[in-house]
Structure 1
Amino acid sequence: MTDHKDDKQKTPSKMSFKEQILAELEKANQIRKEKEEELHQQGLREDELRQKEIEVQKATQRTAELYHEYQKEAESQTVKDSESLTIGETQPQIVPLSANHLVAEAIEVSEIESTESFSENNSLEEDSGSESYAVYSESETSPLEKQTTSDRSNTNQTDFSESQEESLEKSDENFKEDESDLSKTIPFTPLMANDLDPTGLTTESQATILSNDDIVHYNHSENDKETLTEKQNETSTDEGGLVKKRAKRQHVNRLANKISLMIIAGILALMLLVAVIGTTYVYSAVNPIDKTDKKYVQVEIPVGSGNKLIGQILEEKGLIKNSTVFNFYTKFKNYGNFQSGYYNLQKSMSMGEIAKSLQIGGTAEPTKPVLGKVLIPEGYSIRQMAKAMEDNVNTKSTKDKSPFSSETFLKVISDDVFIKEMVKKYPRLLSSIPKKSDAIYQLEGYLFPATYNYYKGSSEKEMIDQMLATTDATMANYYDQIENDGKTVNEVLTLASLVEKEGSTDEDRRDIASVFYNRLNNGMALQSNIAILYAMGKLGDKTSLAEDASIDTTIKSPYNIYTNTGLMPGPVDSPGVSAIEATVKPANTDYLYFVANVKTGEVYYAKTYEQHSANVEKYVNSQIQ
């Protein structure tokens, strides 16, 4: 016989047989509880938990049915083998068999629950397969049961019933001693699936279960009752716990949603606040630093300076609030091509005004800060200029006056000493001015129409000097041609003052200058109302068409060019570049007459008086009411 020494090592020696049974059952219950707890933690619904209970009950019932079948077959087998079996020989073998059977049954229930917890769609046939597998495992891991089955052929059922309690009491004492004998006498034969009968157990196992009827029945029924009661209590407890957990989870989710909404709302509010603050800051940075500060600040812009560097210079001088805003603003507004040089800027200037000034260009050398500006329009007479000198056009307010007065201006312009000084200073321009006895103002027409800056301490003399210098610079382009044509500067400016008032376009002015030259060459009077109005002191005043048509052409004045042929003593207003250019370079025509449509401004020319009279009747007299 084969000596199975390993079997002895595998048998527990420190625990009694009864303690082993209870430990195995406790372990099975513990496994089942862990599985149930795992299922509950996974959030199984109530109906799924109840289904698991029903399946456990079915498995228990099915075990009981198998047990009864085992009992019937064991009874028939026991009758045949009763003569060869003694009670003493079976007692030490029954207890191990019962223990192994209980362990197998516990494993069977545990396997069923484990299979169902991970395979919810399995059918009842798969449960039966799990049971068969559990029995097969039991047969493989219980060599004691195989040996007990072979020896049980001599067991007497009647004597076993009477001695059952005694066997259980003696099992603990005899288990260790019998274990070594069983190891020596019982060969280990593994069971295969085809060794099982339809009930799922071998014939020998059935007989063993029959021998332990009372023990198995008692332990199994009590176990099932306790298990079901515990499961029901745990199920109800778990259901309540799940409800509480779900309610708590919902509360936490609602709280989290509220917090999320509050955070999002806070972020949006912060973004809106930043946008408002940023817009307000940019708007304030673009506007003037101080609208009431009229003081000038001198700034030097180096050659090759970019927008960023210029912005830094302006910020250091206190002219703008932020250089970065200036950089982006000038790029956004497409301001560029800034010129180098010295600039006199004010804190009352906006960022756009400063940018435009930088595009115009500065001076090569530092200059005095500009306090204001005066504007002299084209065609203004000296009397009109005197009034214009009082207004500072550097601001939009009409109440902002310059430091000049019209009385002082007229006094200086008529001062002989001052005029002589200017003639010496600008000889080519003023050498041909009319005599004081012939002209109302000797310098009439010589003050160039333009916009002039004035500075701290500027006087009327300095302003007149600046105007004469501008005219001299303009006429420098025509001095040679005027001399070549045999004319004087005074003659050119005198005729140009008429052309300035009579024409409105460059082409008309060249044609009108041609008419005047043709009349002068033919010894005809120029017959312009402009000179008569100047002589009357009304030039520049608003007159109606009727008043202009009924003007007195018989007044005695050197400026009456209706009665006097040739030119007036001097200009009657300050002509602009266009009128001067047309006078120096007139058109080549045969016209002797012209008249303008008072409504459209269109000029009509004629070579004969008859044609001219028809034009006057059509475009002037017919318009008089």
Structure 2
Amino acid sequence: MACKFCVKSPFRNQRLSLVRAAERSPMKKSGIGYAFKLIGISFLISLLISAAVIFIANDVFAFVSDSGEHVVTIPEDATADDVSAILKEKGLIRFPFIYQLYASMRSWGDDYLAGEFVLSDAMSYDELRYALSPRRGVRSQIKVTIPEGYTTDEIISLFVSLGIGTPEGFADVIENGGNFGYDFVAEIPEDTGRRYRLDGYLFPDTYFVYADSTETEIITKLLANFNVKFDEELREKAAQAGYTIDEIVRLASIVEKEAYYAADMAGIASVFRNRMSSSRYPFLESDATVKYAKVQSGNEEMLTAEDLRSVDSPYNTYLYRGLPPGAICSPGLAALQAAVYPADTGYYYFVSAKDKTTIFSRTYEEHLRAVAGLK
């Protein structure tokens, strides 16, 4: 029932319209959207700042980094600016300005050792500074070159001749030193009758080592180099072909010893890969493996034709099928690459010519003619 005493305001509908209009106003919606945008931008900026802080912190403290090593030369009277530029050039730091700022905060000054140093990607700013600081005392460094094709015994003898370690110390580290943090070491077959557990993995290269290095430090350095050189691409290709890393290392060691020129390595590798894939040629018949077996038995006389059938050793690939139980030397990168990427051939034989090049043959008859032509 209508109230006769109530007065209907002419402005009531107008006020309600304004309120409803305000509720529908795009300004209110845009204000909410703007607030969300601000929150989103603030969050994004926070993420970027956090990422930058983590990135810089990793550069300063080397929480996560590669295990590569670099030879760094610091000139006389080098300043912190000079050193930061050198470290940046070698990839040891990312931010020279941050290094300089950190050095200033730590009051390091410009007191740096001059000379040649081996520095690791895994070193923090403090560790880099310590390695280059006169306050730590000078550790003399030695340049050591391990030729491709050296056996483990020869590598041990090389370091011992330079006053580093003992034969017994190296043998103990090689046999009982654990996996050194590498899967390829953990995957080396056990109880196969190989001479040394790490045969083939002590990578031949030129190294700068401290004169007072321990046997563990030396072996670790050589394995770290193998880990870098035998990269992911080589590992994946080997796996695709059905070979383990250790099988490739053993094959590459034979290629290293059989080839005089690197250009012939892919062809020689193809001969052995072809034989390993064929039931007609179950034996690799590598003279180098017989020579290795003969030397390991204490006989260093020249290899003879009779030795090929008389040296009874699992390393003799004339008498035992497939690959030998261990590598017969430490192969270089070219031999490893050849073992992984052999030439595509139909060859099953080869012989070295007088000029040290390699003559390849598809059949035994071709091979006999090639051998006869060398006489």
Q: Same fold (TM over 0.5)?
A: yes
Residue in 2 aligned with 1:468? 223
Cα offset, 1:444, TM superposition: 0.2
Deviations 1:168-194, CA, capped at 9 Å, x for gaps: xxxxxxxxxxxxxxxxxxxxxxxxxxx
Q: Is the partner of 1:373 in helix, strand or coil?
A: strand
State, as a whole percentage, how many aligned pairs show the same letter.
32
Residue in 2 aligned with 1:406? 167
Residue in 1 aligned with 2:143? 373
Matched, 1:388 2:149: no
Matched, 1:527 2:297: no
In 2, the alpha carbon distance for the partners of 1:559 and 1:570 equals 8
RMSD: 3.3
Deviations 1:309-349, CA, capped at 9 Å, x for gaps: x9xxxxxxxxxxxxxxxxxxxxxxxxxxxxxxx7652xxxx
Matched, 1:555 2:311: yes
Q: Which amino acid aligns with 1:466?
A: K
Residue in 2 aligned with 1:586? 342
Contact preservation (8 Å) 2:145, 2:206: yes
In 1, the alpha carbon distance for the partners of 2:80 and 2:120 equals 11
Contact preservation (8 Å) 1:389, 1:406: no
Residue in 2 aligned with 1:573? 329
Cα offset, 1:572, TM superposition: 1.0
Deviations 1:585-605, CA, capped at 9 Å, x for gaps: 1110111100002x3102111
Q: Which amino acid aligns with 1:408?
A: G
In 2, the alpha carbon distance for the partners of 1:600 and 1:498 equals 20
Q: Is the partner of 2:351 in helix, strand or coil?
A: strand
Cα offset, 1:451, TM superposition: 2.4
In 2, the alpha carbon distance for the partners of 1:433 and 1:344 equals 42
**Using a 3 Å threshold, how does the CA distance of structure 1 residues 384 and 403 change in structure 2: closer, same or farther?**
closer
In 2, the alpha carbon distance for the partners of 1:564 and 1:503 equals 22
| Structure 1 segment 79-98 matched on structure 2, within 5 A | none
Residue in 1 aligned with 2:6? none
Match of 2:239 among 483, 502, 520: 483
Q: Which runs of 5+ in 1 are unaligned?
A: 1-295, 311-341, 346-356, 392-400
Q: Is the partner of 1:556 in helix, strand or coil?
A: coil
Residue in 2 aligned with 1:51? none
Cα offset, 1:362, TM superposition: 10
Q: Which amino acid aligns with 1:378?
A: E
TM-score (norm 2): 0.62
Contact preservation (8 Å) 2:142, 2:211: no
Matched, 1:603 2:358: yes
**Using a 3 Å threshold, how does the CA distance of structure 1 residues 519 and 539 change in structure 2: closer, same or farther?**
farther
TM-score (norm 1): 0.38
Q: Is the partner of 1:536 in helix, strand or coil?
A: helix
Contact preservation (8 Å) 1:497, 1:575: yes
Matched, 1:449 2:229: no
**Using a 3 Å threshold, how does the CA distance of structure 1 residues 344 and 457 change in structure 2: closer, same or farther?**
farther
In 1, the alpha carbon distance for the partners of 2:249 and 2:166 equals 27
Q: Is the partner of 1:510 in helix, strand or coil?
A: helix
Q: Which has the larger radius of gyration?
A: 1
Cα offset, 1:538, TM superposition: 5.2
Contact preservation (8 Å) 2:255, 2:335: yes
Q: Which runs of 5+ in 2 are unaligned?
A: 1-72, 87-111, 133-138
In 1, the alpha carbon distance for the partners of 2:312 and 2:297 equals 17
Cα offset, 1:414, TM superposition: 2.4
| Structure 1 segment 94-173 matched on structure 2, within 5 A | none
In 1, the alpha carbon distance for the partners of 2:243 and 2:222 equals 23
In 2, the alpha carbon distance for the partners of 1:553 and 1:343 equals 60
In 2, the alpha carbon distance for the partners of 1:440 and 1:469 equals 21
In 1, the alpha carbon distance for the partners of 2:298 and 2:156 equals 13
**Using a 3 Å threshold, how does the CA distance of structure 1 residues 480 and 550 change in structure 2: closer, same or farther?**
same
Cα offset, 1:481, TM superposition: 1.7
Contact preservation (8 Å) 2:260, 2:357: no
Compare relative contact order (CA 8 Å, sep 6+) and give the higher one, 1 or 2: 2
In 2, the alpha carbon distance for the partners of 1:498 and 1:552 equals 15
**Using a 3 Å threshold, how does the CA distance of structure 1 residues 300 and 567 change in structure 2: closer, same or farther?**
farther
Contact preservation (8 Å) 1:383, 1:410: no
Deviations 1:555-592, CA, capped at 9 Å, x for gaps: 33221111222111221110001101111111101111
Q: Is the partner of 1:389 in helix, strand or coil?
A: helix
Contact preservation (8 Å) 2:140, 2:211: yes
Contact preservation (8 Å) 2:192, 2:325: no
In 1, the alpha carbon distance for the partners of 2:236 and 2:298 equals 32
Matched, 1:536 2:294: yes
Cα offset, 1:611, TM superposition: 1.2
Deviations 1:350-395, CA, capped at 9 Å, x for gaps: xxxxxxx69x99988243744323332110111111111123xxxx
Q: Compare the two structures and name the one with the higher helix fraction.
A: 1
